[in-house]
């Protein structure tokens, strides 16, 4: 089986090819290596190969890994799981970007928890574009009031939007990604800088880059299949089990 370094190289080549295919500058997409459930050694190998952005889904796991790897200069943690308010402190302590903001209550809690650490946090709002019942995130209609509320919180910077598309259907995924990009454009007055778009995973990153993703969140293709019993999978490979919620 290929090493993490080899898999990472292959994913970088896919991102590069996707950027070039659609006429975007190379390097315009940030690759977030999703390391949930994977050991520190795998993260260290990816880091040694130049990877700096890592994604985690579970607050306690982020806490443990960020502390253990705090000596690695320039490492950046992205929290991409469902975040309970009572774990906001962990994200405030370690994360550079939260991809899954879904309420003003959580935003206020994060703002409060960031102060003692004297840290800021970049925020992406998770949008349930597909309207699937089991999906996290706000509806498109809830976006405007949420972004408006964020404007009053000093330590949070609203940068863009994130979505998880329906699985097993590239055409529907593309439609979701396109809708997310349109929403970001419509709300750009509330976003700092060029809107960030976190969309695309191991199986659909090319589709996402084509539709304007600035961040792709790739786990399986870099670190291999995850195995932990009982967790629902956001992934379309039936041999892979994974989870995206932190409960």
Ligand X SMILES: *Cc1c(COP(=O)(O)O)cnc(C)c1O
Contacting positions for ligand X (CB under 6 A): 34, 36, 57, 80, 164, 201-202, 217-221, 234-235, 242, 244
Nearest to 87 by CA among 108, 112, 60: 60
CB-based contact 103:82 (threshold 8 Å): no
Q: How far is the CB of 162 from ligand X (least distance, A)?
A: 8
Instruction: Choose between 69 and 231: whose C-beta lies nearer to ligand X.
Output: 231
Which C-beta is closer to ligand X: that of 51 or that of 220?
220
Torsion of CA 144, 146, 150, 152, to 10 degrees: 80
Q: Decide whether 121 or 208 has the Cβ nearer to ligand X.
A: 208
Of the candidates 227, 241, 247, 221, the residue with the CA atom closest to the CA atom of residue 55: 221
Minimum CB separation from ligand X for residue 202, in Å? 3
**162, two tokens:** 């994130």
Beta-bridge mates of residue 121: 156
Q: How far is the CB of 220 from ligand X (least distance, A)?
A: 3
| Dihedral of the alpha carbons of 207, 198, 212, 206, in degrees to the nearest 10 | -20
Looking at the Cβ atoms of 187 and 226, the one nearer to ligand X is 226
Residue of 24, 5, 12, 13 lying closest to 214 (CA atoms)? 24
Q: Which is nearer to ligand X, 212 or 219 (CB)?
A: 219
CB of 49 to ligand X, least distance (A): 17
138: which DSSP letter?
A: B
Smallest distance from the beta carbon of 189 to ligand X, in angstroms?
Answer: 27
């Amino acid at each position: 089986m290929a090493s993490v370094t080899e898999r990472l190289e292959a994913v970088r080549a896919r991102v590069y090819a996707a950027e070039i295919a659609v006429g975007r500058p190379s390097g315009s997409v940030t690759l977030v290596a999703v390391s949930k459930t994977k050991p520190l050694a795998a993260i260290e190998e990816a880091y040694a190969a130049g990877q700096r952005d890592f994604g985690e889904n579970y607050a306690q796991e982020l806490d443990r890994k960020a502390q253990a790897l705090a000596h690695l200069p320039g490492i950046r943690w992205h929290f991409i799981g469902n975040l309970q308010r009572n774990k906001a402190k962990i994200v405030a302590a370690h994360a550079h970007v939260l991809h899954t903001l879904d309420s003003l209550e959580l935003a206020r809690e994060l703002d409060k928890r960031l102060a003692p650490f004297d840290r800021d946090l970049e925020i992406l709002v998770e949008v349930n574009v597909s309207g699937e019942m089991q999906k996290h995130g706000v509806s498109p209609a809830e976006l405007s009031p949420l972004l408006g509320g964020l404007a009053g919180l000093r330590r949070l910077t609203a940068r863009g939007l994130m979505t998880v598309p329906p699985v097993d259907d590239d055409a529907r995924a593309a439609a979701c990604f396109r809708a997310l990009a349109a929403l970001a454009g419509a709300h750009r007055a509330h976003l700092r800088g060029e809107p960030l778009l976190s969309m695309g995973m191991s199986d659909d990153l090319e589709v996402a880059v084509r539709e304007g993703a600035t961040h792709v969140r790739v786990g399986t293709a870099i670190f291999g299949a995850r195995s932990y019993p009982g967790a629902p999978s956001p992934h379309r490979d039936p041999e892979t089990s994974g989870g995206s919620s932190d409960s």
